[in-house]
Structures are given as C-alpha cells and as structure tokens.
C-alpha cells in the first residue's frame, strides 16, 4: 500500500505536511513514511525536540509505538491506534511474523549477488557505543542481503533482517566491508554522494492487520535525498 503524493523529507515542522507522510490509516493502524532526521520517540537529551509520534498525535490521537527506526533512517513505521492493536502487533514483532525490507547505498564492490550474515551482535560493544560482532557475548542476529545495482565503488543493496538487533543492518554491512554511505559511525563517511545522513531506507513492511488478520504490505518511496544520491551514483560512477 502507498499513500498519495511523495513523503516529506524535511524535518522543519513549519514545512512538514503530515498528510504527505501517511501510507495507511484506519481505526486501529497508522503507517507512515518517516522523514530522515526525525526520531521515532522523544530524544532523551532534548525532550522538547520534535519527534515522529509527537507530530502525529494531534492529527490521529493517542498512538502506541510497536517498532522504531534510527533518527537518520527514513521509511515505513507502523503505530497502533488502540491498546488491543498494540498487543497484537507487539506479539507479531516479538514472534518474527513481521517482514521488513530495507534499501541501503553502500561503499564498496560486493563480489556476490546474495549473501546471508549470521554473525552475533553486541550492542554498545565498544568505546564509540557501536553494535559490534562478538562471538562470545553477542546475541543471535541474521540478515539477508541482495545486490540490486552496482556502481564503481558503490552499490544499492537490499537488506532483510530476520532478527531485530540495534543497528543490525549497519553492523552486518560494516562486517562485510560495505559500510552504508555517509554512516560515519560504521565507516562509510569518507567518500560519498551528496547525502547528509546515513543512506538507509525502510522500503517495505509486511504484517497481519491487527483487526482482521489480513496479511498486508506497505511500501515507502525513496525520499528526495536518497533518490538524488542514487541518481548521482548512476551518473558519476556508472551503473554496471
């Protein structure tokens, strides 16, 4: 499912049009295309700063968070609109019944088309508070990757996480030597197309509707900055 128009990518609350973000809305479920730069939940260091749930509440009433995206990741986020829907969706996420698909622009040249990484991950595992591969202390983590397009020194990669560890996709791509473009924390910030944030987009979310159980999928189109970065790579690095 997708909403009309293109989702907003600006985080200036004076410019942000809530209707542009909505992919699906009914009495029990709200699905939106989150702009990059806007946290899903309140910022613990700056509790008065805008956040996704806060800007949606005036239009939709009380919302229950069932999952989240990093501040600089754009794409599909679902909210429950009733406590019962919240319980139902939580059960799905905890039982790994929800399918998530991400697209990432990465630095490097994969020599494979498809690969699954099963390295265990430890959150906050080093001095920079990164998620790191740790065979002894790490928790089970698995991500499947597929190369969608390849350029000179860069690639567009699809990522399907089968577990929900903090920074899982970013850490597994870094482990493969393919850090995400503009992700300075995990090593992708040295050279990149004109993107000012980590080039990761939650492209698709599939779940069972909390009211009727119907399997339903939601797709979020790329925001303007991601499209521009991809266009830059195609022009200046050459698709191959």
Active-site residue set: 70
Three-point CA angle 203, 204, 208, nearest 5°: 160
At 88, is the secondary structure helix, strand, or coil?
A: helix
CB 141 within 8 A of CB 175: no
Rounded-to-integer distance, Cα 81 and Cα 4, Å: 21
* CA separation for the pair 24, 11 (Å, rounded): 21
CA distance 69 to 184: 18
Burial class (CB in 10 A: 0-12, 13-18, 19+), 197: buried
Query: What's the chain's length in residues?
Result: 240
Q: Return the number of other C-beta atoms located less than 10 Å from residue 185's C-beta.
A: 17
DSSP symbol at 46: B
Rg of the chain on CA atoms, in Å: 18
Distance (Å, whole) CA 47 – CA 20: 25
3-state SS assignment for residue 129: coil
């Amino acid at each position: 499912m997708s909403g009309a128009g293109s989702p907003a990518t600006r985080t200036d609350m004076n410019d942000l049009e809530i209707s542009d973000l909505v992919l699906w809305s009914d009495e029990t479920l709200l699905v939106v295309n989150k702009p990059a730069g806007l946290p899903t939940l309140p910022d613990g260091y700056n509790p008065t700063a805008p956040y996704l749930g806060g800007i949606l509440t005036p239009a939709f009433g009380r919302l229950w968070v069932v999952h989240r995206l990093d501040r600089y990741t754009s794409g599909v986020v679902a909210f429950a609109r009733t406590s019962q829907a919240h319980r139902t969706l939580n059960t799905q996420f905890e039982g790994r019944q929800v399918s998530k698909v991400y697209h990432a622009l990465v630095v490097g040249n994969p020599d494979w088309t498809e690969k699954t990484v099963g390295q265990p991950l430890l959150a906050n595992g080093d001095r920079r508070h990164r998620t790191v591969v740790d065979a002894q202390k790490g928790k089970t983590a698995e991500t499947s990757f597929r190369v969608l397009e390849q350029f000179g020194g860069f690639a567009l990669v699809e990522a399907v996480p089968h577990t929900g560890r903090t920074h899982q996709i970013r850490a597994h791509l870094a482990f493969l030597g393919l850090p995400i473009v503009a992700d300075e924390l995990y090593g992708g910030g040295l050279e990149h197309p004109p993107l000012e944030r980590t080039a990761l987009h939650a492209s698709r979310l599939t779940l069972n509707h909390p009211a009727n159980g119907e399997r339903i999928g939601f797709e979020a189109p790329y925001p303007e900055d991601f499209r521009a970065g991809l266009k830059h790579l195609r022009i200046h690095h050459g698709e191959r």
